[in-house]
Chains A and B, each alone.
Chain A
Amino acid sequence: MLTIDRLTKTYPGGDKALSDVSFTVPKGQVVGLIGPSGAGKSTLIRCVNRLVQPTSGRVLLNDLDITALSKADLRRARRRIGMIFQEYALVERLTVMENVLSGRLGYVSFWRSFLRRYPGEDVRNAFRLLNRVGLTDHADKRADALSGGQRQRVGIARALAQEPELLLVDEPTASLDPKTSRQIMRLIVEICAESGLPAIINIHDVVLAQQFTQRIIGLQAGRVVFDGAPETLDEAALTRIYGAEDWKAMRKGAQDDADADRDQAERMAGLV
């Protein structure tokens, strides 16, 4: 369980990215974090594993106060938090396998990681995860030889290799086409359901968020302005988060997208 308590972040320039954000994510819940650019979504999830240092407030992961940890303890805590990134953030010149195994860095000694001699259990688990995300044949390829969707799958496998208790996902679909986006979202949600993993997913695509998450939190200028089930996210709530806009048109556009997807799938099925 993740508890965020009165979290505030003020950047040195005086920009208030987050003010007084509080919410709790129970075990197994997948939360979609939506909001306009600059609302503080990215800052919020980076405050959870302290890639960004919060100004005040607390972050508790199963009773462990992450905000109070020393540097060495923070390293140990980060092992328990998997993170998936917008532009995949794979180390491009390393192989797929090295990228997945890098999820174990917090658990092994420097020499083991330097010589790439990971414990047998870690290697077996890495192969299992690559199989789970459908990339078994690509283990020895360099990460920069993969397509966007495949890279994001490696990113997911790396996060899972940490055996995390929480998943932080930062715009997982921002650089992907609509179809791959849905596949990646489906994969993340399935994996969370399989192991009861709570997740916070930053996502700017409202329709995708509603389709795949169990709860939506809307941020506006660093404040929580909506927190509820995806079905309850109505026009009034969207206007509160993003400002006035013709929301019906957006939904219609998304429906067209989904219809086109289905048509495509049917056509492909017809070919076989």
Chain B
Amino acid sequence: MSARDLAGDAGAFPSTWRRPPQLVKNATLRWALIVGAVVYLVIAIGTVEVNWARIAEGMERGGRFVGGFLQPDFTSRWRDIAQGLTESLTMTLTATVVGVILSVPIGVGAARNVAPKAVYYLCRAIIAASRALQEIIVAILLVAMFGFGPFAGFLTLAFATIGFMAKLLAEDIEDIDEAQAEAVRATGASWPQLINYAIQPQVAPRLIGLSVYRLDINFRESAVIGIVGAGGIGATLNTAIDRYEYDSAGAVLLIIIVIVMAAEYVSGFVRKWVQ
């Protein structure tokens, strides 16, 4: 007797099977949602106004831009570029270091499993405030407060780093292997000892990896916030474009691309190394 015979009379079972709908069980509602979404999309595309004459003009400018890109001019504005670059790198590094140092206590405080309720809500509020405000908005406010220049840029990036790092650190702490923490707690360890022995070893590699990643983000952001007056390479780029010096702008963009790629490579290497 074969296994097939043992399972019973084959004719008694259906030979087709379809996967039941997972999200919307009601067929009418499901089709109504699909048709509704398609109709809305068609109407929405129809309302976008396209000015073809303006696009043609833009293409021409774009062409000049590409031309500048292909013949980047590093020399004629080199002093401006070098100064912007130094400012950007300085504010990137200082803001990342200060931001990470401040984000560690806030991140620990924002982890539900190691912080008391009151501290938890306070730290979550700080993170929410930091994340709610986009870098450019913060930069505009800080430039208004402290004037043009890299100091406003440094404060902006440090503030943004806190929200980013503290949130990811807190989530990482909430995801730790609780058994390790329980074992350390069972030895009679105090709260700081628990953090140092059970939490830190589990989250440190990711914290270092994220810090290097944030360094890379901060450099890119420093180029953006320079445009609203927070100094750095962004300010140099903005000036070059305002003067229609697309060849110098091309040089600046190339430098940014090279530095970001280098940072990417280094951060990947560091993350693998600390595991």
Contact = CB atoms under 8 A, between A and B. Distances in A.
Contacts of B186: 49, 51, 78, 81, 83
A91 B188 contact: no
Interface stretch (A103-111, A195-203, A234-242, A245-253): A103-111
A91 B184 contact: yes
Nearest to A105: B189
Contacts of B202: 91-93
Contacts of B184: 91, 102, 105
Interface in A41-55: 49, 51
A184 B165 CA distance: 43
A98 B201 CA distance: 11
A75 B189 CA distance: 7
Interface stretch (B103-111, B190-198, B246-254): B190-198
Nearest to A98: B197
Contacts of B183: 83, 85, 89-91, 155, 158
**Size range of the interface on A?**
20 to 34
Please indicate which of the listed interface residues B179, B182, B185, B186 has the most CB atoms of chain A within 10 Å of its own CB. Answer: B186
Q: Which label, helix, strand, loop or mixed, suits the secondary structure of the B interface?
A: helix
B190 A110 contact: yes
Contacts of B198: 91
A78 B197 contact: no
A93 B201 contact: yes
A92 B180 contact: yes
A153 interface: no
A49 B204 CA distance: 29
Contacts of A125: none
Contacts of B196: 110, 113-114
Contacts of B190: 75, 105-106, 110
A158 B198 CA distance: 14
A6 interface: no
A51 to B, nearest CB: 6
A106 B201 contact: no
A78 B190 CA distance: 11
A103 B197 contact: no
B187 interface: yes
Please indicate which of the listed interface residues A87, A105, A107 has the most CB atoms of chain B within 10 Å of its own CB. Answer: A105
Contacts of B177: 92
Interface string B185-221: 1111110110011100110110000000000000000
A86 B188 CA distance: 19
Contact of B189 (A85, A94, A106): A106
Contacts of B185: 51, 78
Nearest to B197: A102
A223 interface: no
Nearest to B193: A105
A91 B187 contact: no
B186 to A, nearest CB: 4
Contacts of A158: 183, 187
Nearest to A77: B188
Nearest to A80: B188
A105 B177 CA distance: 19
A174 to B, nearest CB: 12
B188 A85 contact: no
Contacts of A102: 184, 187, 189, 197
B179 A105 contact: no
A46 B198 CA distance: 19
Given A91-B198, A105-B193, A79 B188 contact: yes
A94 B184 CA distance: 12
A93 B183 CA distance: 14
B117 to A, nearest CB: 16
Interface in A104-157: 104-107, 110, 113-114, 155
B189 A91 contact: no
A67 interface: no
A91 B178 CA distance: 10
Please indicate which of the listed interface residues B177, B180, B187, B197 has the most CB atoms of chain A within 10 Å of its own CB. Answer: B187
Contact of B197 (A75, A76, A91, A162): A91
B188 A90 contact: no
Nearest to A110: B192
Interface in B119-147: none
Contact of A105 (B182, B188, B201): B188
Contact of B188 (A76, A89, A98): A76
Please indicate which of the listed interface residues B177, B189, B202, B205 has the most CB atoms of chain A within 10 Å of its own CB. Answer: B189
Given A78-B186, A105-B193, A106-B190, 11 more contacts: A51-B186, A77-B188, A79-B187, A85-B182, A87-B179, A89-B179, A92-B177, A93-B201, A102-B187, A110-B196, A158-B187
Interface of B: 177, 179-180, 182-190, 192-193, 196-198, 201-202, 204-205
5 contacts: A78-B185, A85-B182, A89-B183, A106-B187, A110-B193
Nearest first, the 3 A-B pairs at minimum CB distance are A106-B188, A89-B183, A79-B188
